[in-house]
Chains A and B, each alone.
Chain A
Amino acid sequence: MGMNFTQATWFCLDVIILGNSGVGKTSLMNQFVNKKFSSQYKATIGADFLTKEVIVDDRVVTLQIWDTAGQERFQSLGVAFYRGADCCVLCYDVTVNKTFEALGSWRDEFLIQASPRDPDNFPFVCLGNKVDLDQRQVLAQDAQEWCESKNSISHFETSAKEAINVEKAFLEISRAALRQEAEDQAYTNDYSDTIKINSNQSQPQQADSCQC
């Protein structure tokens, strides 16, 4: 069932973080959620999950962030949580060219597994992590060009260690996810006879629970 899109609605937005092993997916998530960095994260096997409430354009939303295993093999073990994602974050390490080259296949694989309604306009955000290190291999300009070629994906260069651009990137991620969720709901409502969108006379919403 669809729902009315109102100020009072509390959104749960699902975000999936993808990218090769060791690019810093877990670190980025932890820097954003817990404001902490550790150089001793262990490899993620299967998937990890954290949530955070954020305010996007005066709206409170709960981000549900899925951190995934970087070894592509794990995709065969089920990626049930890909479905229903509102935004996909593609990560690479600016000091390892291979991790950047892999972004295309991560994007394609996600679109196959998640099969979103409108794949061409599904929101991705691209993060080049570890800008605090010196040995850069991926130029910002090259990454920017690639992102533009893929239907203008937003691109940020970040450092999970120094907390550079992390907040900013996740705000964009939240915005993109919120737009996607709103579009999905408008779509659902369009195809539902019983629900009418009416922004003035909103249905009472349960404020203490997520509309997932």
Chain B
Amino acid sequence: MQLVKSPRFVQACVDIPEILRAEVWAALMGINSTYRSVYETYNKTSKHSADRQIDVDIPRCHQYDRLLSSPDGHAKLRRLLKAFLSANPTLVYWQGMDSIFASWLRLNFNDEALAFSCANTFVEKYLHDYFLPDNSSVMQETLAVYTHLLTFHDPELSSHVLEIGFVPDLYAIPWFLTLYTHVCSFDKIYQIWDSLLVSSSSFPLCFAVAILQQFRSAILSYDFNDCILHFSDMPALDVEWCLATSRQIWAQTPPSVTSRKHDAWEACEENAKKQLQKDIDSHVADTTVEGNVVKGLLLDSDLEWWAKTPPLAELRSNRVAQIRFDDVMLMDQYLMVDIRSDASFHAIGHWRASLHFDAESLANMSDVLLPFK
């Protein structure tokens, strides 16, 4: 994206001073000068089926904060949410959305229109499709991918939580649906979002892995009840540590591990590819041959089975991510172990830098493998 290259973005990666946060974040969201007139066009007053739910939720939303608990704060938040529903007729109000908008409102309390524009863009960018009336496939995909990410970075922890039945459906839904705004106070939210806004939409998943890792030794000794009680309220996070850890996780994760269908950036890319393919189609006769040699131009439907993102059912049943071949070529810091039969290894072919032994002897190979850890 264009924004990625701007000097503003690079500076924001280093640090965002608190007094400049509202302006910097608005710039990161790419808000242009017409935002006030755009906000005026949205209906914020007429009756809506979500009104009752919104009215029940606002008096419970970040009320420790003096701005948000003020009558003015309640009125502003209500208008923001109603404007969002008017601007996005295909989306609906989900509990927790109030906390996302409250975070933007707290930051731009005297510029309601700017709070709206930022929140609206933010939802589109980081919470694509999450607020559809039925978001179950979106959420299930996110939870499956998060499980893969945890397995990729911490297989021991991942095995333990799955064994005791501490599945993310029971604790991580508010994390991902509200991007931590429902489970943290404003000071922590802003700290987390400083990093989120200069990362991709998979950053929240990395942060969730970091949270589990902060309590790693406790979780490993816990059974199901202990774990679920521990995370029933968000435990005291070491936000600095979790952020450093999640940035590391984010940088070390092959893109195919976290790739999701319901991802705004993926969707943009896919559309751009389709357009490019169309352009080529109209100019080149033999497009299949031509198309396949240009890197980054492949449509999902043209890909071989091993290069495609698996369907949702498969994503959910797999504990381990399927890593695409183009990622494998870039993973030089990893050791690849091939556990197929001798015959397959030699006859079908193999990755040149891989170690080969059969699955049965894998357990005995810990001496060989440990130094690579």
Co-assembled chains A and B:
yes
Residues in A lying within 8 Å of B, measured CB to CB: 21-22, 40-43, 45-51, 64, 69-71, 73-74, 76-78, 80-81, 98, 210
Contact of A80 with B174 in the complex, beta carbons under 8 Å = no
A-B contact pairs, 8 of them (CB 8 A): A43-B98, A45-B174, A45-B182, A69-B95, A74-B95, A77-B169, A80-B169, A210-B225
On chain B, the residues within 8 Å of A78 by CB distance are 136, 140, 169
Query: How many interface contacts (CB-CB < 8 Å) are there between A and B?
Result: 74
Out of B53, B136, B167, B174, name the residue touching A21 (CB < 8 Å): B53
Contact: B170 with A50, CB < 8 Å? no
Which of A21, A41, A48, A51 interacts with B95 by CB under 8 Å? A21
**Bound: A23/B305 CA distance, A:** 50
Whether the Cβ atoms of B135 and A43 lie closer than 8 Å is: no
Q: How close is B122's CB to chain A, nearest CB, in angstroms?
A: 18
* B136 adjacent to A77 (CB under 8 Å): yes
Would A46 and B94 count as touching, CB distance under 8 A?
no
Q: How far is the CA of A182 from the CA of B63 in the complex (A)?
A: 44
Would you give the shortest CB distance from A46 to chain B, in whole angstroms? 4
Q: How close is A40's CB to chain B, nearest CB, in angstroms?
A: 5
Shortest distance in angstroms between B240's beta carbon and chain A's nearest beta carbon? 25
Listed from nearest, the 6 A-B pairs whose CB atoms lie closest are: A46-B173, A22-B56, A45-B174, A71-B95, A21-B56, A49-B228
Query: Which B residues touch A40, using CB under 8 A?
Result: 60, 63-64
The B interface is mostly helix, strand or loop, or mixed, namely helix
Residues of A within 8 A of B171 (CB): 46
Chain B 163-182 per-residue mask, 1 if CB under 8 angstroms from chain A, else 0 = 00001011101100110001
Chain A residues lying within 8 Å of B135, measured Cβ to Cβ, are 76-77
CA A74 – CA B171 in complex, angstroms? 13
User: Chain B contacts of A22 at CB under 8 A?
Assistant: 56, 60
* Contact flag A51-B63 (CB < 8 Å), given A77-B136, A77-B173: no
Tell me, in angstroms, the Cα distance from A69 to B135 when the chains sit together: 15
Instruction: Determine the distance from Cα of A53 to Cα of B372 in the docked complex, in whole angstroms.
Output: 48
For chain B, give the interface size range: 20 to 34
What is the minimal beta-carbon distance from A168 to any residue of chain B, in angstroms?
Answer: 25
A49 and B96 within 8 A (CB)? no
Q: What is the CA–CA distance of A135 and B94 in the complex, to the nearest angstrom? A: 28
Q: Is the CB of B60 within 8 A of A46?
A: no
A45 to B228, CA, bound (A): 14
Alpha-carbon distance between A22 and B56 when the two chains are bound, in angstroms: 6
A48-B94 contact, Cβ under 8 Å, with A21-B57, A42-B61: no
CB distance from B26 to the nearest CB of A (A): 27
> How many angstroms from the CA of A47 to the CA of B56 in the assembled complex?
18
| B327 interfacial by beta-carbon distance below 8 Å | no
Is the Cβ of A73 less than 8 Å from the Cβ of B133? yes
Decide: B229 and A49 in contact? CB cutoff 8 A: yes
Complex: how many Å from CA A70 to CA B94? 11
* A80 and B136 alpha carbons, distance in the complex (Å): 13
Question: Is B232's CB under 8 angstroms from A48's CB?
Answer: yes
- Contact residues in A for B134 (Cβ distance below 8 Å): 76
Whether, in the assembled complex, B27 has its beta carbon less than 8 Å from a beta carbon of chain A, the answer is: no
Given A46-B173, A77-B135, A77-B139, 14 additional A-B pairs, CB 8 A = A22-B56, A43-B57, A43-B182, A45-B96, A46-B171, A50-B229, A51-B225, A69-B95, A70-B95, A71-B53, A76-B136, A78-B140, A80-B167, A80-B170
A71 to chain B: which residues have CB within 8 Å? 53, 94-95
Q: How far is the CB of A97 from chain B (nearest CB, A)?
A: 12
What is the bound-complex CA distance between A113 and B60, given in angstroms?
Answer: 29
Question: Are A46 and B64 in contact, with the CB atoms below 8 A?
Answer: no
CB of A51 within 8 A of CB of B229, answer yes
B60 touches A64 (CB 8 A): no
Nearest chain A CB to B91 CB, angstrom units:
12
On chain A, the residues within 8 Å of B92 by CB distance are: 73
Please indicate the chain B residues that have their CB under 8 angstroms from the CB of A77 in the complex: 135-136, 139, 169, 173
Among A48, A80, A210, the one with the most B-chain Cβ atoms within 10 Å of its Cβ is: A48
Task: Tell me the chain B residues, 58-109 only, with Cβ under 8 Å from chain A.
Answer: 60-64, 92, 94-96, 98
A43–B96 touching, CB < 8 Å: yes
Contacts A74-B95, A76-B134 given; indicate if A45 touches B64 (C-beta within 8 A): no
Most buried by B among A46, A80, A210: A46
> Given A40-B64, A74-B95, A77-B139: A45 and B225 within 8 A (CB)?
no
State A74–B61 Cα separation when bound (angstroms).
18
